[in-house]
Chain A
Amino acid sequence: MDEILKDLANYALDHKIGVFFRPVSLETVAQVNPRKRLIFINTNYKIKEQLPLQLAHEICHVMNGDDSLNRLYYSSSLYGVENQANIGALRMLAPYYIEDKPEEYITVDGFMETFAIPEHQRAIAEHVLFNVIGT
């Protein structure tokens, strides 16, 4: 898990995005300031498996330019900025889950469990996994 975080942090740096890793309260989730291209990751978060997902998600917010209230306001739920960041994040993580696994061991449940993907993202996880395997 640490290796994936390191990879993602390097990816962020390559794209001129700064990441702060700090231990704070158990409940504090990742935060992002897309305009300044800065991300905060709580290394003490209660679910460690979810940290790569949180980082990937915030990277996507920066890359998508989610820095204006207009953009946030106009987004419908389907193409909303959150949804887009969710899709982008899972696309970044899927290859790590699949890696060298034989196809019969690849499941949506497994993917979701590995990165503690919230249940409300199940449909996206299914879609992304199917697409990544398909290519």
Chain B
Amino acid sequence: MTTFDNIKKYSSLRKLSLREVARKAGLSENALYRYNQGIEPKFETLKAVAKVLNVSVSDLSQQYDQEKADNHKKTDVDLAKDDEDIILSFDGKPIPDEDKELIRRLLRGK
């Protein structure tokens, strides 16, 4: 994922357009589109965008992404096979058996 892809992904998760994100980050409206043309944003710009999207700079930066991907390549392949929905528990606490089925059924949305 390029930095631009990441910005796009988090913007769409927050239902914001790239123009809105740029404006909130104090940039010109079209600023973010430039990063789709091979230009890498400056760290300060990235920081401002990350703040608007409520993520860390490392979530947006391609370089950081790549380093992590290299470190975990093998596991990446293993895990990629798993396309089951993931259900997360608050504070990682286990769910009592009697409630498991109801919650899974509701959260699978079927």
Contacts and interface: CB of A to CB of B under 8 A. Distances in A.
Interface in B85-107: 85-93, 95-96, 98-99, 102-103, 106-107
Nearest to A26: B96
Given A63-B14, A69-B82, A33 B109 contact: yes
Interface residues of A, number: 44
A58 to B, nearest CB: 7
A65 B89 CA distance: 15
Interface string A35-64: 110111010000000000010011011111
Contact of A33 (B10, B87, B90): B87
B77 to A, nearest CB: 10
A30 to B, nearest CB: 4
A57 B10 contact: no
Interface stretch (B17-25, B32-40, B54-62): B54-62
Contacts of A18: 109
Question: Chain A contact residues: over half helix, strand or loop, or mixed?
Answer: mixed
Identify which of B9, B56, B86, B92 gathers the most chain A CB atoms within 10 Å of its CB. Answer: B86
Contact of B86 (A24, A34, A54, A74): A34
Contacts, number: 104
A40 B101 CA distance: 12
Count class of interface residues, chain B: 35 or more
Nearest to A29: B90
B20 to A, nearest CB: 14
Contacts of B75: 73
A38 B102 CA distance: 13
A-B pairs, 10 with minimum CB distance: A29-B90, A33-B107, A30-B90, A69-B79, A36-B109, A24-B99, A29-B93, A28-B99, A54-B90, A79-B56
29 contacts: A15-B14, A18-B109, A20-B106, A22-B102, A25-B96, A25-B99, A29-B95, A31-B88, A31-B90, A31-B95, A31-B107, A32-B107, A33-B108, A33-B109, A35-B86, A36-B108, A40-B107, A42-B99, A64-B54, A65-B10, A67-B85, A68-B86, A70-B79, A70-B80, A72-B86, A73-B79, A74-B69, A82-B92, A118-B91
Interface of B: 9-10, 13-15, 54-56, 58-59, 68-69, 72, 75-76, 79-80, 82, 85-93, 95-96, 98-99, 102-103, 106-109
